């Protein structure tokens, strides 16, 4: 089974709305990363949050990490049609080099 | 800088045939990864190289899959013989090093269909 599990599996919103995706994982991590994948640009790294960080921002993206609950959330504010894609969380464990374990993804559709 | 290059982009083969995928990582990246992504799922790591050595291949089905990175740059992934369940996108990624804070850069992938 995969380490990270995203929730919801699919999300449909209108342009301008905010989108929130959640990720849960099972064991201690070094960091957690979020990736976006669409047919045009492949898999693209969005943001990395370390285990000792609680929140991180990058443009319209906000990521939170709660290590006590083993969960993370990705918030996309003021969504655009171009944000339509699948979003994956990936976890990197301590003492495991840079091997990432991906979740199953959230498929986001932003309607214009 | 140029991104991770992969070829071919698409491949259709019959079961029991063999197939090979090629990856050229970003220049200077010591660490190279192969992932398998089945439709509707997240990528699954198959093998990780550090320069020309294997770091981890615990999830590589070694009875049919093999991979090499002979000169520490390009890499090939081979499947022989292919099964229907091998239909997937095979992604190659590279990073500067093995430390977990290094970002991985992904190639466009090779979509394999086994009939």
CATH number for B29: 2.60.40.10
On whether the CB atoms of residues B9 and B16 are closer than 8 A, the answer is: no
Determine the structural domain holding residue B21 and report its residue range: 5-95
Distance from CA of A35 to the nearest CA of B (A): 10
Band (pLDDT 50/70/90 cuts) for residue B26 is very high
Give tens-digit pLDDT for A44-98. Answer: 999 999 999 999 999 999 999 999 999 999 999 999 999 999 999 999 987 777 8
Does the pLDDT at position A21 exceed 50?
yes
Question: Is the Cβ pair B109, A42 closer than 8 Å?
Answer: yes
Question: Is the Cβ pair A31, B100 closer than 8 Å?
Answer: yes
Does the pLDDT at position A39 exceed 90?
no
What is the structure's pLDDT at A13? Answer: 97
Closest CA to B81 of B11, B1, B16: B16
Which of residues A14 and B103 earns the better pLDDT score? A14
Residue B103: inside a domain: no
Distance from CA of B74 to the nearest CA of A (A): 19
List CB contacts (< 8 A) between B48 and chain A.
97-99
Give tens-digit pLDDT for B35-88. Answer: 999 999 999 999 999 998 999 999 999 999 999 998 889 999 999 999 999 999
What is the structure's pLDDT at A4? Answer: 67
Q: DSSP strand E in chain A: where?
A: 5-7, 10-14, 19-24, 31-38, 42-50, 55-58, 61-66, 71-76, 85-92, 100-102, 106-111
Residue B17: inside a domain: yes
What is the structure's pLDDT at A3? Answer: 59
Domains and CATH numbers, chain A: 5-111 (2.60.40.10)
pLDDT averaged over every residue in chain A = 92
Q: In this predicted structure, which of A8-12, A94-98, B1-5, B107-111 has the lowest mean pLDDT? A: A94-98
Residue B59: inside a domain: yes
Question: Is the Cβ pair B42, A105 closer than 8 Å?
Answer: yes
Q: Which of A100, A104, A106, A107 to mutate to test the interface with B (most CBs of B within 10 A)?
A: A100
What is the structure's pLDDT at A74? Answer: 98
Does the pLDDT at position A1 exceed 50?
no
Question: Is the Cβ pair A98, B109 closer than 8 Å?
Answer: no
Structural domains in chain B (count): 1
Question: Is the Cβ pair A2, B104 closer than 8 Å?
Answer: no
List CB contacts (< 8 A) between B93 and chain A.
43
Residue B72: inside a domain: yes
């Amino acid at each position: 089974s995969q380490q990270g599990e995203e929730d919801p599996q699919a999300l449909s919103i209108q342009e301008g709305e905010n989108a929130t995706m959640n990720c849960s994982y099972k064991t201690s991590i070094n960091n957690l990363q979020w990736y976006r994948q669409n047919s045009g640009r492949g898999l693209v790294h969005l943001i990395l949050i370390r285990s000792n960080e609680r929140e991180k921002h990058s443009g319209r993206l906000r990521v939170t990490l709660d290590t006590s609950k083993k969960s993370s959330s990705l918030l996309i504010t003021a969504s655009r049609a171009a944000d339509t894609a699948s979003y994956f969380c990936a976890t990197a464990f301590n003492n495991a080099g840079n091997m990432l374990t991906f979740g199953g993804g959230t498929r986001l559709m932003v309607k214009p | 800088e140029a991104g991770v290059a992969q070829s071919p982009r698409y491949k259709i083969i019959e079961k029991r045939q063999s197939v090979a995928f090629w990856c050229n990582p970003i220049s200077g990246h010591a660490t190279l990864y192969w992932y398998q992504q089945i439709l509707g799922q997240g990528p699954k790591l198959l093998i990780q190289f550090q320069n020309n050595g294997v770091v981890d291949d615990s999830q590589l089905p070694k009875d049919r899959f093999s991979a090499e990175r002979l000169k520490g740059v390009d890499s090939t992934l081979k499947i022989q013989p292919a099964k229907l369940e091998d239909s997937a996108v095979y992604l190659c990624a590279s990073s500067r090093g093995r430390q977990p804070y290094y970002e991985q850069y992904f190639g466009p992938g090779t979509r394999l269909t086994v009939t």
